[in-house]
Chains A and B, each alone.
Chain A
Amino acid sequence: QKEVEQDPGPLSVPEGAIVSLNCTYSNSAFQYFMWYRQYSRKGPELLMYTYSSGNKEDGRFTAQVDKSSKYISLFIRDSQPSDSATYLCAMTSHAGKSTFGDGTTLTVKP
Chain B
Amino acid sequence: EAGVAQSPRYKIIEKRQSVAFWCNPISGHATLYWYQQILGQGPKLLIQFQNNGVVDDSQLPKDRFSAERLKGVDSTLKIQPAKLEDSAVYLCASSASGEGRHEQFFGPGTRLTVL
Q: Interface of A with B (CB < 8 Å)?
A: 4, 6, 32, 34, 36, 41-46, 49, 51, 88, 90, 92, 95-103
Residues of A within 8 A of B103 (CB): 34, 46, 49
User: How near does chain A come to B59, taking the closest CB pair, in angstroms?
Assistant: 10
Residues of B within 8 A of A42 (CB): 108-109
Size range of the chain B interface in the assembly? 20 to 34
Residues of B within 8 A of A96 (CB): 31, 48, 55, 101-102
Q: Does B45 contact A (CB under 8 A)?
A: yes
A45, A88, A92: the one within 8 Å of B102 (CB): A92
User: How near does chain A come to B74, taking the closest CB pair, in angstroms?
Assistant: 17
Residues of A within 8 A of B61 (CB): none
Q: Interface of B with A (CB < 8 Å)?
A: 4, 31, 33, 40-45, 48, 55-56, 91, 93, 101-109, 111
Query: In the bound complex, what is the Cα–Cα distance between A43 and B106 (angstroms)?
Result: 5
Query: In the bound complex, what is the Cα–Cα distance between A41 and B76 (angstroms)?
Result: 21
Residues of A within 8 A of B55 (CB): 95-96
Query: In the bound complex, what is the Cα–Cα distance between A73 and B107 (angstroms)?
Result: 25
Query: In the bound complex, what is the Cα–Cα distance between A101 and B43 (angstroms)?
Result: 8
